[in-house]
Structure 1
C-alpha cells in the first residue's frame, strides 16, 4: 500500500534530526481542511467546521487551520487561550468539555466564545459572567441519545457498546426530564441565549448508518428548540488506522465526510431545520495522516515463541498504539528483503504494555539501526505524550521544499524544571 510520503526525504530527516521524531506534512493537513470546508460549502445550508484542538495543539498547525477558515473546538482554558493566540476568531471558537472553571467561563464570555453547557452548575456561572460583562452570552447545550455508533459481528461487543452509550456522562439524554430541567434553567437566565445544540458520539467512527441513527434524536431535539446551529461533533474515522471491534478486524474504510454531511443535511431539512447551521468538529480526520513518526530499531530478539523488534519510540509518544488501535509501519532507508515475516513491535519503555503490534508482517532482514515510519501519528500524539522513562519527541514540519523544526524534542532540563527547593 502506497503511503504518499517521500520515503527518501523521511530518511534524510531522521538522519539530520535523530529519532524518534514526528514529521508533519503541512500541505496534507491543509488539503484535508479544504476538502472538509468544500463538503460543507456544497450543502444547501450554512456550514461550519471547528478544529478539535485537543487532537493536536501544535501552534504551527493551529495557525494554518485558522488561516484556512476553520474554527476551533476547545475543552480547557489553556486550549482557549492557545486558540486565540493561533488566530482563530473568537466567534469561531466553541468551548466544550465536562469541566469548566468559573474563571474559564468568564474568559469565554469576555471573548464572545460560545459555551456548550455540559454541567448544570455552569448556568449560574455563565449568568454571573455575562451580567458582569453587560452582555447576553450565546450558549449551546450538549445532548446524548444513548445509542451506540458502532457495528460489529460480535454480539458481546455490541451489547457492551449499547451499555456504554446509555451511561454517557457528557451532556443530557435527549427527551429526558433532566434535560427539560436544564433547559428551563437556561431559559430563566436573563443574560443567556440558547442558540445551539451539540453532540459528540464517539471516536474513529467508520460506519455511517449507526451514527446517523444515533444523531436523529439530537436533530429532533434541535428542531423542537428551534436553535440556529446543530453541532454533530467529530469522531469521523480515517482509513489509516484500525480499531478491531470484537472479532471484526476489518471494520471498513474511513467515514466519507461529504457523503455523511449530505445525509445529515437532508435529515435536518426533513425536520424543518432548513436555515440552521450544520457544524462539525473533527480532529483526527484533519491531522491523522498529516503526520508520521520516525523510529529506529534498537534491539532485535528472536525467541522460541516471539520475534521482537524493540524501537526507540514507545507509548510515551505514541500512546494509542497496540491491540486496540493498529497502525501501519513502513521500513525506510535501504533496500530490504522481499521475504516478509511476522514481527512483534515494542517500544523502549520498561513497561510490559509498551507494545505497538503483537504481530505485523515486515521484512525478515530488519535489524538494529534500521528506520521505520509509523503512519497516522497526527492525532492524540503530542498532547497525550509524556516523559515516562523516555523523553518526548520533536516535530519537523515540511511545506513543499521548506523544512522547519516546529517543536523541539524534550531535554532532561525540561523534565526537572518544575522541581522546587532543590539545592544540588
Structure 2
C-alpha cells in the first residue's frame, strides 16, 4: 500500500485498495486541484475483459450493450467501444454520443420510457433497434419504417413485478414488494396489457418483434432474487419465441458491485432506533456475474431458446471501480453530539450523497495516527442532505487540508453531477504512465453560458 494512504476498513470492503497508486492521486490533486475525478483506464479494461470472458464461455451468441447513461465520458465510451461492445442509450443525445464514440449502430439499442418522434426517427435512420416501452412508440415506428420502405426489428420491455433486494427489516421488504409491483418500466409478464401490446406489434407489417428486454433494478447484490425475477421474463420470451422467432433475450444490467453499500431499512428500523434498538446487520452479498450468466444460459436452453443470443447491459459493474474522487477537508467541527469533516466535494460532484449510499474512504497524503474516531462526513453545499456518511471510522487526527479518496465513483458521478452552489469537477484519466485531462473543471462562466440567449453580449452576465 502507498505510504501516503491509510485504508479505513469498513463492513462493505471486499476489494484491495492497494491497486490504486495513492501517491499519484495526491500528485494529481496538487496539479489539478480538488475535487477531481481520476479514471484508471487499466481498471476499466480489466472489468471489460472479465465480463467478455464470462460471456465467451457460454453456449450461445452473446452481446454486451454498455449503459451510456452510467457514465457518458467520451474517453471512457471510446475505450469500451474499442473492446467491441455495443451501447445502450436512453435519449437522442446519448445516441449521438455513442455513435461519435465508435459504438456501431447495429450494436446499439435504444431503451427508456420516453422516446420522441425525432429520436425514433434517428434510431430508424441509423439502424438502431428500439426496445418498446411506451405503446405510442408502436404507431410511430410503424409509420417511420413504412416511410423508409423497410421492415425494422424491435424489442419489447417486460417487467417481472418481483423485488430485487431484501432486508432483515420486514417493513423494508413490504415496501420493496409494493414498489416492484408498481414499477413503471416495461409491461408485466403474463399480463393482458403485455399480450395486447404484442398483438399490436404483430399487426404492424413493417415491425418485426425479435427481442425481449428487461432491466430489473440497480446495484443488485442478491443473485438469487435476480435469478427468480428473471424466470418470468425467460418464460415469456420462450412463449414469444414460438410465435415470432426471437433473436435476443436481453437481461439488462444493474449488477451490484462490492465497493458501495446501500441502506436497506424501513420504518420499523427507524422506530426501533428511536427506542434505542440496534438493527440486525444484513449480509452484503457479492454478485457473481459469471455465475448468474451461466445460470441464465442454462435456463434459456431448457426453455427451448438454444439458438437465441443472450445480451446484457452493464454500466456500474464496468465503470464503478474504475474511478475515484479525490477531495479535500475544508472544515473540521467538533460538536457535543457530532464530529464533522466537511469536504470540498459534495452532492454536486458525488450525486449519490444524501441517499445513504456509503463509499469506502481512504485518507491520503501523510501519515495518520493509528487511533480512529467516528466522523460524520459532509460536502460543502448549503443543503442539509449533502452528507457522504453519517458515521464512518477515520483517523482521529484528521485535519483541515487533508485529502480523502472516495472509491467506486465511476457510476453516475458525471452525468448526474450538477452546478448547484458549486461547479462540476475535472476528470483526469491515467493509462499506465500516461495522464490526460479528459473533462475540464466547470467554471462560473460555463454555468451562465446559456443565459439570455437573445441579449447583446454586453447585456449578458
- TM-score when normalising by structure 2: 0.91
Residue number among 133, 153, 160 corresponding to 2:168 in the alignment: 153
Aligned to 1:240: 259
Cα pair distance change 1:283/1:320, threshold 3 Å: same
**What is the 5 A alignment of 1:253-268?**
253-268=285-300
**What is the 5 A alignment of 1:284-303?**
284-303=316-335
C-alpha RMSD of matched pairs (Å): 1.0
Alignment of 1:252 with 2:252, yes or no, is no
Aligned to 2:440: 408
> What's the CA shift string for 1:104-123, capped at 9, x where partnerless?
00100111100000000000
Aligned to 1:338: 370
Question: Unaligned stretches of 5+ in structure 2?
Answer: 1-8, 10-15, 266-278
- TM-score when normalising by structure 1: 0.98
Alignment of 1:175 with 2:197, yes or no, is no
Aligned to 2:403: 371
How much does 1:145 deviate?
Answer: 1.1
Aligned to 1:67: 82
**What is the 5 A alignment of 1:159-238?**
159-226=174-241, 227-238=246-257
Is contact 1:127–1:189 with CA below 8 Å preserved after alignment? Answer: yes
Alignment of 1:329 with 2:361, yes or no, is yes
How much does 1:13 deviate?
Answer: 0.5
Distance 2:95 2:450 in 1: 23
**What is the 5 A alignment of 1:105-124?**
105-124=120-139
How much does 1:250 deviate?
Answer: 4.0
Aligned to 2:119: 104
> What's the CA shift string for 1:332-372, capped at 9, x where partnerless?
01111111101110000011111110110001111111000
Distance 1:386 1:34 in 2: 32
Distance 1:248 1:348 in 2: 33
Question: Unaligned stretches of 5+ in structure 1?
Answer: none
Distance 1:20 1:75 in 2: 29
2:82 match: secondary structure? helix
Distance 1:187 1:87 in 2: 33
> What's the CA shift string for 1:186-217, capped at 9, x where partnerless?
00111110000001111110011111111101
Is contact 2:451–2:460 with CA below 8 Å preserved after alignment? Answer: no
How much does 1:254 deviate?
Answer: 2.9
Count of matched residue pairs: 424
Is contact 1:26–1:399 with CA below 8 Å preserved after alignment? Answer: yes
How much does 1:252 deviate?
Answer: 2.0
